[in-house]
Structure 1
Amino acid sequence: MTRFLVATALLLAGTSLAGAQSLEKQIRDFVYAPGFGAADIDALEVSLIDQWYDLTVMTPGGTVGPIEKAMLIADKAIEGIRTRTAIDYGEVITEDGTPVSFIELRHFNLAAAIHAETEAAYGPENTAPLEDFGTGEHMAWRFVFQPVMNNAAVLLEASSRVISVKEAAKSDCTGRPCLDLYAGFDAAEWEEVGGQVPDWPRLYSDHSDEVATPAHAIAELAVFGYWANAESGQYQWTGGEHPEGARGAEPYRFIGIDRHLGQEASIDAIWRETKLNDDELAAITFRRAEIAGSVHLMRAGEPHPGRP
C-alpha cells in the first residue's frame, strides 16, 4: 500500500482533495473488485525491468504505454503461447490533466482446446502431451497506471484472479466466445491499408516464435491509430484524445489478440476505439494480422446508428 499512498500524494499535488478522494475510491473499487487479490507490485516491476533492453537510460521503458506494460506482465505470468487476450481500457483525467489508466486484461490459455481438437482429429497416440501445447491458467488482471515525469506509465496498483474453465467457456472476448478457436475477426468489413508501421529501436522482445509478441502488436496498432508516435525513429506513447462521452473509468478502448491458434505461426490483433469525438463515426477499429511473418494492416469504421 506504500505505492498507493505515494500515488495519492502525486494526485493530490494537482487535484482538489475531494477529487483525489473520489479518484482514490474509483481505483480501490476497480482494482479490488470481488474475486481479485492484490498483486505484488514490486515483483511486477521486477518482471518489467527484466524485459527492458536498454537499462542505461534514466527511465528504462519510460516511453512504453500502459497497455503494453499490462500485456508484458500478463503474458509473462503463463508459459503458454496459444492464447486469446481481451483488454478493456478506461481513463480518468485529473483536474491538472493527468490521465490515469484503468485496464482490465483477460488472458486465456487455449492450449487445452487445441490439444483436444488435435487428439480428436489424429488420435491420442499421435498427439503430444498437453504440457507440450503450453501450460498456464486463464487469468484476469486489473491495473492502474499514470504518467510521472519522464515515464509514460507508472504502475500504481494491480490485482489478479484465476478464471475458471467454466467461466471461460461462458465469457465473451471482443464479441466472440473466448474459447472458440474458429471465432476470428472477419465479421467486420475490413479495408486493407497499404504501407507499414515505421520501425524503432527495440524496447523489449518484439518477436517470438516467428511473429510479433502481443505487446509489440499492441504498440504497432497504437502507432497505426495515432495513440503512439514513432515518426522521429523513437517510440513514444501519447494516449490519443480522451473521448468527451467517456464517464469515469468506463472502458471505451477494446483490444483483442489471438496468437498461434491455427496451424501456422500467427498473431491477429484488433484495437477498437469507441465514443469518438467525431460527427461521422461512432467507433473505428484497426487490425494487424500476421501469418508466418507477413503483416497486413486493416481498418473498419462504424457510423453512428441510423447513418449510412
Structure 2
Amino acid sequence: MPSIRLIIAALLLATGLVHLEPAMAGTSVEAAARAYVAADGYQPVALGPVDRFFVEIAGEDPEHMNLAERDISPVEKAVLLIDEREAPLTRLRYALRVRRQSFGAVTATFIDVQRFNLGPRLRAETIAAYGEEKTAGPEIFGVGPDVGWRIVSVPSAKSPAVLLAAGRRVMTAQAAETADCFGRPCLSTEPLDGYAAWTPWRDLAPLAFVTAYPGVVQPRADEEETAPALFALELASAAGLATLTTPPGIEWRLPPPQPAASTSPTLVFVIDRNLGQETMLDGAIGLAPRSKDEPIRWTRMAASLKTRQVSAGSGPLKDLENRP
C-alpha cells in the first residue's frame, strides 16, 4: 500500500492545489499532522479502520474515491468518528476545537473533539434526590470513559476531509473533572441556559440536508434521536457557516486559516446530548473574535427529532449567577 505521504502528494497534485514542490508540501502537512495527534497525551491510531468506517457509511467501493463522502465536513467526521469508535453512550457532552492552517497553497483542518460521559454524574444526582432504590442502574445512565480524538484532514476534489492522521486519548478522572468547556465545567450537569445572556428562542424549520450518514440514530430499539453529527451541521448552518447548494449538496464556510504560529481554535462547538428528561440536543457554536476587543459570538440551537429552536449570545460561557 502507498505511504500516506505518496497518497497526499497524489491528492494534492490531482486537485491542482500545489504550486510549490509537492513532496515538500506533503511532508510539511504530514509532519504537522503527526505532531498534533501525538501531543497532549494523545496516542496516534492507525487510519485503516477509520477509513473503512467512512467507506462503509456511504457504501462505496473502498478501492475508489468515495463520491458519496464529498459533503462530509471535517467537523462531522470528528463527531461520527468518536461516536463510532467509543462506547454507545447517550448522555454526553461534546466539545470541539477547530483551527485551520495553510501549508503553501494547501489548507489543513485540525480538530480536537472531546466526549464527556455525564451518565455517572446524573445518576449520582438522581440518587441524592430520590434514593438509590428508585434510581436505574449505572448501565441505563451510561458506563464508559471520558475520551478525546484528534483528526487532521485536507480537502480533495471528491472529499472536503481526507484524513491524514488521527489520535486518541482516554482522560483520567482528574483531567475530566478539571476540563473546561469554554467557560463551563465539562462535567457540569447544568444546562446552557444560565451561562450567557441568550436572546429569546425562535423556531427554525429543520433544513433538508441529505447526508451520507444516517441523520437519525437509534441508541435503543425503542428510541430515535437526531444524529449528533447532523446536529453539528445544522448548528453551523444556523450560524451561517453551512448551506445547501444547487445541485443538491452542502457547502461549509469555515473561518480562514490562521498563521502558523497560532494554535488557538477559531471555531468551537459544545453539544449537550440528553442532559435532561427529554431526548434532545442542546448546543452552541462559537466564532472566535476578529480582534481582541470583540467577544466570542455564539449561536445556540436546541433540537428534538422534529423541532428546532435557535438563540444567540456573546462572551465566555460563565454561570451568570456567579459571574463577577
TM tier relative to shorter chain: 0.7 to 0.9
Q: What amino acid does structure 2 have at the position aligned with 1:3?
A: I
- 1:105 deviates by 0.7
Provide Cα deviations, 1:62-112, integer angstroms capped at 9, x if missing partner.
Answer: 11100100100001222111000111111012322x321000111111111
Q: What amino acid does structure 2 have at the position aligned with 1:132?
A: I
- 1:217 deviates by 0.9
| Counterparts of 1:4 and 1:127, CA distance in 2 | 53
| Counterparts of 1:125 and 1:189, CA distance in 2 | 39
Cα distance change on mapping 1:94 and 1:151 into 2, 3 Å: same
Cα distance change on mapping 1:232 and 1:297 into 2, 3 Å: farther
Cα distance change on mapping 1:153 and 1:23 into 2, 3 Å: closer
Say which SS state the counterpart of residue 169 (structure 1) adopts: helix
In the alignment, is residue 263 of structure 1 matched against residue 277 of structure 2? yes
Mark the runs of 5 or more structure 2 residues left unpaired by the alignment: 218-222, 316-324
Cα distance change on mapping 1:283 and 1:126 into 2, 3 Å: closer
Which segment drifts farther, 122-131 or 289-298?
A: 289-298
In the alignment, is residue 207 of structure 1 matched against residue 221 of structure 2? no
Cα distance change on mapping 1:79 and 1:135 into 2, 3 Å: farther
| Counterparts of 1:137 and 1:285, CA distance in 2 | 28
2:296 alignment counterpart: 283
Q: What amino acid does structure 2 have at the position aligned with 1:105?
A: V
- 1:195 deviates by 4.0
Which segment drifts farther, 192-201 or 152-161?
A: 192-201
Identity %: 27
In the alignment, is residue 28 of structure 1 matched against residue 34 of structure 2? yes
| Counterparts of 1:279 and 1:296, CA distance in 2 | 30
In the alignment, is residue 146 of structure 1 matched against residue 142 of structure 2? no
| Counterparts of 1:246 and 1:25, CA distance in 2 | 13
Provide Cα deviations, 1:202-244, integer angstroms capped at 9, x if missing partner.
Answer: 4322223444221011111222223222143734233334166
From 161, 164, 173, the counterpart of 2:169: 161
TM-score normalised by length of structure 1: 0.85
Say which SS state the counterpart of residue 148 (structure 1) adopts: coil
Say which SS state the counterpart of residue 50 (structure 1) adopts: helix
2:239 alignment counterpart: 225
1:115 alignment counterpart: 123
Any residues of structure 2 matched to 1:28-67 within 5 Å, and which?
A: 28-52=34-58, 55=60, 58-67=66-75
| Counterparts of 1:153 and 1:78, CA distance in 2 | 24
| Counterparts of 1:234 and 1:164, CA distance in 2 | 44
1:306 alignment counterpart: none
Q: What amino acid does structure 1 have at the position aligned with 2:284?
A: I
More strand by share: 1
Which segment drifts farther, 73-82 or 42-51?
A: 42-51
How many residue pairs get aligned? The number is 300
1:273 alignment counterpart: 287
Q: What amino acid does structure 2 have at the position aligned with 1:216?
A: L
Mark the runs of 5 or more structure 1 residues left unpaired by the alignment: 303-308
2:3 alignment counterpart: 2
| Counterparts of 1:135 and 1:49, CA distance in 2 | 29
Cα distance change on mapping 1:35 and 1:200 into 2, 3 Å: closer
Cα distance change on mapping 1:265 and 1:197 into 2, 3 Å: closer
1:299 alignment counterpart: 312
Cα distance change on mapping 1:225 and 1:111 into 2, 3 Å: same
**Conserved? CA contact 2:153–2:162, under 8 Å:** yes
1:305 alignment counterpart: none
Provide Cα deviations, 1:260-293, integer angstroms capped at 9, x if missing partner.
Answer: 11111121111101143x8995532111112574
